[in-house]
Amino acid sequence: METELVERLRGVYRDLHAHPELSFQERRTAGVAATWLQELGYEVIESVGTTGVAGVLHNGAGPTVLLRADMDALPVEEATGLPYASEVDGVMHACGHDMHVTCLLGAAAVLADSRGEWSGTVTVVLQPAEELAQGAAAMVADRLFERIPRPDVVLGQHVAPIPAGVIGLRPGPAFAATDSLRVTLHGAGGHGSRPETTVDPVVMAAATVLRLQGIVAREVSGNDTAVVTVGALNAGTKNNIIPDDAELLLSVRTFDPAVRTRVLAAIERIVRAEAQASGAPEEPRIEATESAPAVINDPAAVERTRGALARVVGAERVIDPGPVTGSEDVGVLAAAAGAPLVFWLLGGADPAAFVGASSPQELARVVAGLPSNHSPRYAPVEEPTIGVGVAALSAAARQWLA
Ligand code: ZN
Ligand code: ZN
């Protein structure tokens, strides 16, 4: 890559990192991306699904490739001490989406500059609100695929605390499906000294929480994976008042769509049955607040792309990271486009931390000790992360273009 482009991208990265924006508020970031793409000659569509940006580069007959990045930051107070740390109180690019935008803009430039060497159409999508698992769906609902050509493949990457210069690529289920639920259990409150006049939602909630633990233990096969976490249980104000209601907040992670369906159905069955067993005066309310399907990489498309990634970092540095219980909504774009998905992990951790760690076990031990995505100390190294991220995206795209 030309050193001038590398220098410009480092400036973009530092600027985005210093100016993080929360989900669905990525106006400045979207503006930076739109201007960059326009200067390269892309047709640019802005404000797709609130702040989303799409760019299209037509270059003769051939396949269409979609490259995707997410733009949002998190409500985290940065503690990296970096000279380009966040200038916004309580907001930080703690998930590395600034790196995703930077690498995508770099790849857009590399592909535009090399357009004499390929033919087809490159589309780039910068989506809002990945952290809410809502941004991809918002762009699709705003007619994204009526406004840009439908792609033959969707490509993207997520920076992770594996060594910079290493790429994690896994066919099949790669990131878990996520479902966040809010459950409201209705009881009938009263004086704590007279429980016989009430229906106690605290006991109802406690029974429900314990019973939910049986789903993964007793209803999911030992060969499958699922997580059901009750992350919050809210009820009551004082020791001698039995409240009217109790609220549970659940996080559910699954990889197999059939397991997901079964787990969600089991949650609903248990919540309703426990309410009935308690004599609840009203049916409980179950609301899905956030949801994204599992990231399922198309095995044939992964194999087709693997060679391009191996040429960037070396075949021995394209590793299988195992299934990730974190979640991503990039699969929503691929599903809506009816295209195969290839989504990989981009190493961002300082390679110096891994000196002497050669076995997968040693590698995993070092990774476990490093700040992870969403940590206030998460700080991918700029190089070689940016260079590899740009090269990986552009090489993968070229693999699919004519
Ligand atoms: Zn995140
Ligand atoms: Zn992320």
User: According to the model, what pLDDT value does residue 7 have?
Assistant: 94
User: According to the model, what pLDDT value does residue 211 have?
Assistant: 98
Low-confidence ranges of the chain (pLDDT < 70): 1
The domain total for the chain is 2
The alpha carbon of 373 and the centre of ligand 1 are apart by a number of angstroms equal to: 6
User: According to the model, what pLDDT value does residue 207 have?
Assistant: 98
Ligand 1 is a single-atom ion; what residues have CB below 5 A from it?
A: 95
The alpha carbon of 78 and the centre of ligand 2 are apart by a number of angstroms equal to: 16
d(CA 60, CA 326): 39
Tell whether 46 and 165 lie within a shared domain. yes
Tell whether 200 and 319 lie within a shared domain. no
Q: Sheet holding 153-163: strands in order across?
A: 43-48, 52-59, 120-127, 64-70, 153-163, 341-349, 167-168, 318-319
The alpha carbon of 187 and the centre of ligand 2 are apart by a number of angstroms equal to: 39
Tell whether 180 and 322 lie within a shared domain. no
Domain membership of residue 388 as a residue range: 3-171+298-400
Catalytic residue selected from 26, 70, 72, 256: 72
Q: Does 362 qualify as catalytic in the annotation?
A: no
Tell whether 263 and 303 lie within a shared domain. no
For 255-291, the DSSP string reads SSHHHHHHHHHHHHHHHHHHHHHTT-SS--EEEEEEE
Q: Which numbered ligand comes closest to the C-alpha of 68? A: 2
Tell whether 237 and 145 lie within a shared domain. no
Amino acid (1-letter code) at residue 259: V
Cβ contact 252:267 at 8 Å = yes
The alpha carbon of 87 and the centre of ligand 1 are apart by a number of angstroms equal to: 20
d(CA 302, CA 230): 35
Q: Which numbered ligand comes closest to the C-alpha of 157? A: 2
End residue of a domain, out of 251, 277, 292: 292
If we measure between CA atoms, which residue out of 326, 303, 320 comes closest to residue 360?
320
User: According to the model, what pLDDT value does residue 265 have?
Assistant: 98
Helix (H) or strand (E) holding 156: strand 153-163
Tell whether 52 and 103 lie within a shared domain. yes
Tell whether 29 and 144 lie within a shared domain. yes
End residue of a domain, out of 276, 292, 308: 292
Tell whether 136 and 281 lie within a shared domain. no
Catalytic residue selected from 130, 131, 244, 329: 130
Question: Count of CB atoms within 10 A of residue 236's CB?
Answer: 17
Tell whether 89 and 206 lie within a shared domain. no
The alpha carbon of 240 and the centre of ligand 2 are apart by a number of angstroms equal to: 44
For 206-228, the DSSP string reads HHHHHHHHHHHHHHS-TTS-EEE
Amino acid (1-letter code) at residue 168: G
The alpha carbon of 371 and the centre of ligand 1 are apart by a number of angstroms equal to: 13
Tell whether 389 and 328 lie within a shared domain. yes
CATH number at residue 103: 3.40.630.10
Tell whether 287 and 349 lie within a shared domain. no
Q: Does 200 qualify as catalytic in the annotation?
A: no
Helix (H) or strand (E) holding 396: helix 385-400
Tell whether 343 and 194 lie within a shared domain. no
End residue of a domain, out of 257, 292, 327: 292
User: According to the model, what pLDDT value does residue 122 have?
Assistant: 98
Q: How many CA atoms lie within 13 A of 22 on its CB side?
A: 7
For 316, the token pair is 């021995």
pTM: predicted TM-score of the whole model, two decimal places: 0.88
Q: Which numbered ligand comes closest to the C-alpha of 96? A: 2
The alpha carbon of 308 and the centre of ligand 1 are apart by a number of angstroms equal to: 26
The alpha carbon of 304 and the centre of ligand 1 are apart by a number of angstroms equal to: 28
User: According to the model, what pLDDT value does residue 291 have?
Assistant: 87
d(CA 313, CA 293): 30
